[in-house]
Amino acid sequence: MISAILQRRSVRKYKGDMIAKETVEQILRAGMLAPSSKNRQPWKFIVAAGTAKEEALLAMQEGLLREKAEAILPGSRQHLSGAEYTLQIMRQAPVVIFVVNPLGLDLFRPLTAEERIYEICNAQSVGAAMENMTLEATELGLGSLWICDTYFAYPELCSWLHTGGELLAAMALGVPDEAPPPRPRKQLTELVDWRI
């Protein structure tokens, strides 16, 4: 597993090769084996390919256009061009997996302290599932990109997904058409505070 951790990259260029359904299911099963808070397993996976993927990306494009005129994330406006680039990447990938927390609460309403803790725990659980999926994709020789830019088009994508719950992330998946070098990482001494 350490080799997959060392080899994993965020891939932003994909070949047009299709991925077998069985391969995608193997990656999803890896995600489903992730640990989750109180074993809630707060995830549902919507696999979009072909026409369905085009519909999803149209919803995302509409959301990005709406965000320019009527922002739901005005403090993140400087990242909107990055989200547009992410949309281009998603167009290249043959498969996009949307990850929904069916236990998730309305993103636009205030939360009690307890609800916030549940949301944080569920987000951590989904993060573990996403990491398992990226590592399994790497083991299978595929590239992946963990995507959070979907929040710019949150209402539009949730409307397209119409599954209920909270959209937490997406993942582009495909045969990589690049081999990016590893990105710089902070040193252990910068990040660890030993208290003995």
All structural domains of the chain, each given as residue ranges with its CATH number in brackets, are: 12-177 (3.40.109.10)
pLDDT for the residue numbered 142: 98
Residue 34 DSSP label: S
Phi-psi group of 25: left, alpha or beta (phi > 0 → left; psi -120 to 50 → alpha; rest → beta): alpha
Q: Is the pLDDT of residue 108 over 90?
A: no
> Rounded to whole angstroms, how far apart are CA atoms 189 and 81?
34
Q: Coil, helix or strand for 9?
A: coil
Summarised one tens digit per residue, pLDDT across range 59-71 is 999 999 999 999 9
- pTM for the whole thing? 0.95
Summarised one tens digit per residue, pLDDT across range 116-149 is 999 999 999 999 999 999 999 999 999 999 999 9
Phi-psi group of 173: left, alpha or beta (phi > 0 → left; psi -120 to 50 → alpha; rest → beta): beta
